[in-house]
Structure 1
Amino acid sequence: MKSTPFHSEKPPDGKLTSSSSTSKTDFVRLKKMVDEEIKLTAEHPEADPGHIVGGVVRRGVSKR
């Protein structure tokens, strides 16, 4: 019977692999967009600044 490694073990080459998938966002196209081209929907509403600030504070970024 062959044993299988635990998921927490490093791969044989010793490098850890990322669990994040590659972004499929077209950042070049996104950067060229003007506000009028962005469609806001219930599924994709405008960002709430209070929500964003809370995330920044939790990650330890200092306010300037």
Structure 2
Amino acid sequence: MLRFDDHEAPLGIAEIRVEQEKGIEIAAPTLIYHYVTDHQYRPPDYFIDAVLRQVRKISP
């Protein structure tokens, strides 16, 4: 379970999908959060880049 402020989100029952290039999506299980924070997993650079691009699109 992911807790952020007053919100909770279950992990492992969904996917994170981001656009790598026009028309190409990449996906990871929501458990990727657990892998990164608890097991020091580092996703491939292309995944990190795609996530950061997506965040920049939706951030004010």
Q: TM-score, normalised by structure 1?
A: 0.27
Q: Structure 1 or 2: larger strand share?
A: 2
Q: TM-score, normalised by structure 2?
A: 0.28
Q: Which structure has the higher relative contact order (CA within 8 Å, separation 6+)?
A: 2
Q: Structure 1 or 2: larger helix share?
A: 2
Give 1 or 2 for the bigger CA radius of gyration: 1
